[in-house]
């Protein structure tokens, strides 16, 4: 089998699939499974060399109240119990729910300058207005909407390759994620800056560490709903995460379970959100993105703050019909509203994981759903899987082999 497939991109989707079937010895059934997944007419335009799509379950997290407004939250994720955990955490936070806020949608574009002369920073800042004028000439629509290049920063950093001058363009991208607008502005103004300082620009690209575009959320879980032992356990677990990066990595992963699921459901770049969140967590030594404390009544206060980039225009948010439906379900009108909901979900999932670990162990809910999936893998129907799951959980034996044995007995 060879992988140097000249002209593969120019083939139709069906022709590509037929060629992959032949080269990789796929059965007709396997090829047909791929063929049936191509349900979106634009799939072939979303990525290169498409031969199908892979789906994630889309669920709805319930019980969320964000800034006084009830919200149903679409979440796309394959991990069992995440949607249920978010929903239960939100239920425990009612009726007050979550309060959330966010900064202006300012993204950072970076221009890397090599060999800039002395006084480069001063020269660049003195020409701020000219740089803004050049940048805006390429995106008049964004400017009319109130966005555009708002400010400029210049940093000098020492690297193993010598001193580099880094120009930051601070761009208000309005309701978009902003990569295209920011990258275009960086490329447009770079030649002018080169002429100003005599250096050579190399990288001209957005930063995913969006420190000027942070989102915050918080809520209170009542002592009566949790119990003092659970609250103390959550505080101990939080202290563990603050002190130990090995624990903190999984702590923050649980936050991103919820945030990523919302971003995927709405067609947003969850990889950018992951990069920004973990970079932010690591600025002063890797730390949790959430904080927990007790208030004067002994209730548990949970808070989250992180750079969170989400858009409601551009990219697959407009081209993917499921993303458009998800945004309609959320009933958000501005990008910051989406970010605030996502942050609330991240906090809810983190709380739910901590509560489960200190109260009953994280595996209880996971294993129930895992056992159900195992039963389905063994060939059980949904109704059969419910009965088989109950038996496997009571026995503590969860495997495809055991599910198959139970299914055989059930069908005799």
Active-site positions read 79, 253, 269, 366
Look at the chain and count its residues: 412
- Cα separation of 208 and 309, whole Å? 8
Tokens 């001209």 belong to which residue?
204
Between strands 99-102 and 58-66, the pairing is unpaired
254 class by beta-carbon count within 10 Å (0-12 exposed, 13-18 middle, 19+ buried):
buried
Contacts of 181 (CB under 8 A, 6+ apart): 139, 142, 147, 171, 173
Tokens of 381: 């129907």
**Helix extents (H) in 25-127:** 28-37, 43-46, 82-93, 120-126
Cβ atoms of 322 and 226 within 8 Å: the answer is: no
Q: Which long-range contacts (CB under 8 A, 24 or more apart) does 52-58 make?
A: 52/17, 56/264, 58/265, 58/322, 58/326
């Amino acid at each position: 089998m060879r992988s140097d497939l000249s002209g593969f991109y120019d083939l139709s989707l069906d022709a590509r699939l037929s060629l992959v079937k032949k080269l990789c010895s796929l059965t007709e059934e396997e090829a047909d499974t791929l063929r049936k997944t191509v349900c979106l007419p634009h799939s072939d335009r979303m990525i290169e060399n498409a031969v199908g799509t892979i789906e994630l379950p889309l669920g709805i997290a319930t019980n969320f109240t964000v800034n006084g407004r009830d919200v149903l939250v679409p979440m796309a994720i394959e991990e069992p119990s995440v949607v249920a955990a978010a929903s239960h955490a939100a239920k425990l936070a009612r009726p007050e729910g979550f309060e959330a806020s966010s900064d202006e949608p300012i993204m950072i574009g970076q221009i890397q300058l090599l060999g800039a002369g002395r006084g480069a920073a001063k020269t660049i800042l003195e020409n701020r207005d000219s740089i803004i004028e050049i940048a805006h000439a390429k995106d008049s629509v964004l400017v009319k909407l109130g966005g555009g290049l708002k400010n400029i920063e210049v940093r000098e950093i020492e690297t193993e390759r010598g001193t580099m001058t880094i120009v930051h363009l601070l761009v208000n991208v309005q309701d978009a994620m902003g990569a295209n607008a920011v990258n275009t502005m960086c490329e447009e103004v770079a030649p002018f800056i080169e002429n100003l300082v005599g250096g050579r620009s190399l990288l001209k690209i957005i930063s995913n560490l969006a420190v000027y575009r942070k989102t915050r959320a918080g809520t209170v879980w009542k002592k009566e709903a949790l119990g003092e032992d659970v609250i103390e356990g959550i505080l101990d677990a939080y202290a563990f995460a603050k002190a130990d990066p090995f624990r903190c990595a999984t702590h923050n992963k649980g936050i991103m379970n919820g945030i990523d699921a919302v971003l995927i459901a709405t067609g947003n770049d969850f990889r950018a959100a992951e990069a920004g969140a973990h970079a932010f967590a690591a600025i002063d030594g890797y730390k949790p993105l959430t904080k927990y404390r007790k208030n004067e009544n002994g209730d548990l206060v949970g808070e989250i703050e992180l750079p969170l980039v989400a858009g409601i225009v551009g990219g697959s948010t407009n081209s993917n019909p499921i993303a458009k439906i998800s945004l309609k379900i959320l009933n958000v009108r501005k990008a910051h509203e989406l970010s605030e909901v996502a942050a609330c979900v991240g906090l809810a999932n983190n709380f739910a994981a901590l509560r489960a670990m200190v109260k009953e162990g994280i595996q209880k809910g996971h294993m129930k759903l895992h056992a159900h999936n195992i039963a389905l893998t063994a060939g059980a129907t949904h109704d059969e899987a419910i009965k088989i799951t109950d038996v496997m959980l009571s026995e503590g034996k969860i495997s495809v082999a055991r599910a198959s044995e139970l299914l055989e007995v059930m069908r005799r």
